[in-house]
Amino acid sequence: AQSVTQPDIHITVSEGASLELRCNYSYGATPYLFWYVQSPGQGLQLLLKYFSGDTLVQGIKGFEAEFKRSQSSFNLRKPSVHWSDAAEYFCAVGPFGIAGNMLTFGGGTRLMVKP
């Protein structure tokens, strides 16, 4: 069965500092990988996705993520964090093919930004 682990439940960074959120997945085939962000009281907004090709993917709001197959990881990065980035971040894995696109989510990482 597929699973996603986000080892860090909470992370606090200073505004302007760099950020890396970790995501490890377990999946038996080629996965689709996603990062979503959720602000308080909101639904999920897609930041970026990886399907194939270049293992470094760019997303919205200045985020990027790197797929490392050998480490089963898909870590999210941002070079300079803004106060508005404070939110909960979810990594998710989905299947490829006609079985549909059910997503399995990690437990989330709550990001706090210090002024």
For residues 5 and 17, give the distance between their C-alpha atoms in angstroms, rounded to a whole number.
24
Number of residues that bind other proteins (CB under 8 A): 29
| Interacting positions 28-47 with other proteins (CB under 8 A) | 32, 34, 36, 41-46
Residues with Cβ < 8 Å from 20, sequence gap 6 or more?
75, 76, 77
Q: Minimum distance between the CB of residue 58 and other proteins, rounded to whole angstroms?
A: 15
Q: Minimum distance between the CB of residue 10 and other proteins, rounded to whole angstroms?
A: 11
Evaluated on CA atoms 49, 31, 77, 111, the torsion sign reads positive
Interface ranges with other proteins (CB under 8 A): 4, 32, 34, 36, 41-46, 49, 51, 90, 92, 94-108
